[in-house]
Amino acid sequence: MIDKQISSCAEAVADVFDGATVMIGGFGEAGSPIELIHALIDQGARDLTVVNNNTGSGEVGLAALIKAERVSKMICSYPRTTNSTVFPVLYKSGKTKLELVPQGTLAERIRAGGAGIPAFYTPTSVGTMLSEGKEHRTIDGREYVLERGLTADFAFIKGSVADRHGNIIYNKTARNFAPIMATAGRQTIVQAAKVVDPGELDPETIVTPGIFVQGVVHVAKPAHESEQVAQGVSYP
Amino acid sequence: MSNASIGWSREEMAARVALDIPDGSYVNLGIGIPELVARYVPEEREFIYHTENGLLGMGPAPEEGGGEPELINAGKRRVTALPGAAYFHHADSFVMIRGGHLDLCVLGALQVAQNGDLANWSVGSPDAIPAVGGAMDLVAGVKAIYVVTQHVTKKGAPKLVEACTFPLTGCGIVDRIYTDLAVIDVTDEGFRLVELAPGIDEDHVRERTDAPLLSIGEGRAVTS
């Protein structure tokens, strides 16, 4: 029987090794798998390359992972956000490197990685400093830049409902990067607020088919980053 | 500032932009003055707003203290979803942008050059943390790019220039500019006035524009 359920977040992140590349779902706080990130802080893996659109806020979730100096490199499109106070300090001190990627290129790199496509041409960033040093090619009279597909050792995402096969649906704009990160992570773990039996999710509405998911953790009442930041919570 | 009381207000600029958007358009609005455009949809027109974090059919902000943390816009502020809205993941969202499916994007600017180059994401200072978001994708893929911005900086420096000095967002992609002083097209011959704000004359605009400016109707037909 296929049962991808894992009993705790600690167990779900246990395999993460030093130097791993980790995709973390979310756009700001929407879709951020905060309990899995906190488990990763407890677990202790270092020198991580983290792929996320942002760099977290306050001192919880992704920002707390960065603050704990576990992240040697961020791959993201927008590291500057209200309440994002942790990353600037570590970036300026050189402890955390930054690979800045246009948001659509970031999404497409993840999609391509998950689809087995090693690289693709896009007009995004042509003529700007973000295309410097990259291969260019003119196709049908327009100039494009070559961008590489992106995969990861682990992907940690948040769903609203999952089943033991790993099928997932999401909540509103919390979906964002999760479905594509699920395809690009070799070990994709979803934390879901509700876990149901196979068949309970309507096959017509499943967003992420279970083939892309290796682990399902039930987190019944996930914390919301903005509430924790407003309360001044600092993890751990 | 000496000319703060003349020309169009931020709200009037946004309303002026909205007048030019055809009925049925799919539109992405940037942060700042562009966001205000959504308040001024002309009678009898329906626009569908796209936010790149995965929502078509974005509605206005909820009442103060309302809304939910997982229904937000690209500026990470809480919004609502209108009847007929759709959620989707980030790759699909940027297929809409990069695949040329959106009709119009309205963005802010640090500088616009007379050839349509746009700089709006970085002032290039070495100690600043660079952050680009979706701006480079939007200007590369959306069918029409409108810029709405104050005509000059708070220090009075022109934002409409011969060539951008800040890092570029995209090359030759701006179609039309709405400022507090005027509406200006970017043409093959450079900037051309389309309309002046009430009480503003051409010389007033020229003195604050760091590039040649064709008069209304001057030059060849619009090419964009």
pLDDT in tens, A174-214: 999 999 999 999 999 999 999 999 999 999 999 999 999 99
Chain centroid to Cα A54, Å, comes to 10
Cross-strand bridge partners of residue B26: B48
Task: List the domains of chain B with CATH numbers.
Answer: 10-43+90-214 (3.40.1080.10)
- Cβ-based contacts of A55 with chain B (< 8 Å): none
pLDDT in tens, A13-45: 999 999 999 999 999 999 999 999 999 999 999
pLDDT bucket at B32, cuts 50 / 70 / 90: confident
Polymer length of chain A: 236
Residues 21-60 of A with CB under 8 A from B: 27-31, 53
A77 pLDDT more than 50: yes
B1 pLDDT more than 50: no
Task: List the domains of chain A with CATH numbers.
Answer: 5-118+150-230 (3.40.1080.10)
B222 pLDDT more than 80: no
pLDDT bucket at B127, cuts 50 / 70 / 90: confident
Closest chain A C-alpha to B204 CA, distance in angstroms: 32
Decide if B136 and A29 are in contact by the 8 Å CB cutoff.
no
Best of B125, B129, B171 to substitute, by most chain A Cβ atoms within 10 angstroms, is B129
Average pLDDT of the residues in B108-127:
94
B217 vs A163, residue with greater confidence: A163
Q: Which residues of B46-85 are buried (b: 16+ CB within 10 A; e: fewer)?
A: ebbbbbbbbbbbbeeeeeeeeebbbbbbbbbebbbbeeeb
Q: Does A122 touch chain B (CB under 8 A)?
A: yes
Percent of chain B with pLDDT over 70: 96
Q: Does B68 touch chain A (CB under 8 A)?
A: yes
Closest chain B C-alpha to A80 CA, distance in angstroms: 6
Decide if A102 and B137 are in contact by the 8 Å CB cutoff.
yes
Average pLDDT of the residues in B28-56:
93
Q: Is B44 a catalytic residue?
A: no
pLDDT in tens, B156-185: 999 999 999 999 999 999 999 999 999 999
B5 pLDDT more than 70: no
Task: Order across the sheet with B111-113: list the strands.
Answer: B118-119, B111-113, B160-161
A109 pLDDT more than 70: yes
Q: What is the DSSP letter of A172?
A: G
A178 Cβ contact partners less than 8 Å away, ≥ 6 residues apart:
A25, A26, A31, A157, A158, A159, A168, A170, A190, A208, B89
Instruction: Write down the mean pLDDT value for chain B.
Output: 94
Instruction: Write down the mean pLDDT value for chain A.
Output: 97
Cross-strand bridge partners of residue A190: A157, A216
Best of B71, B117, B136 to substitute, by most chain A Cβ atoms within 10 angstroms, is B136
Q: How far apart are CA B90 and CA B94, in angstroms?
A: 6
Residue-level pLDDT at B82: 95
Report the DSSP pairing between strands B176-178 and B182-187: antiparallel
A81 pLDDT more than 90: no
- Cβ-based contacts of B65 with chain A (< 8 Å): none
Convert B177-205 into a string of H (helix), E (strand) and C (coil). Answer: EECCCEEEEEECCEEEEEEECCCCCHHHH
Catalytic residue among B52, B70, B195, B202: B52
Query: Can you tell me which residue has the tokens 């900086």?
Result: B153
Q: Does B96 touch chain A (CB under 8 A)?
A: no
Best of B50, B58, B70 to substitute, by most chain A Cβ atoms within 10 angstroms, is B70
Q: Does B61 touch chain A (CB under 8 A)?
A: no
B84 pLDDT more than 90: yes
Average pLDDT of the residues in A155-180:
98
Can you give the pTM of this predicted structure? 0.96
Helix B90-98, helix A103-114: angle, nearest 10: 120
pLDDT bucket at A83, cuts 50 / 70 / 90: confident
Residues 35-54 of B with CB under 8 A from A: 51-54
Q: Does B137 touch chain A (CB under 8 A)?
A: yes
Residue-level pLDDT at B3: 47
Residue-level pLDDT at A209: 98
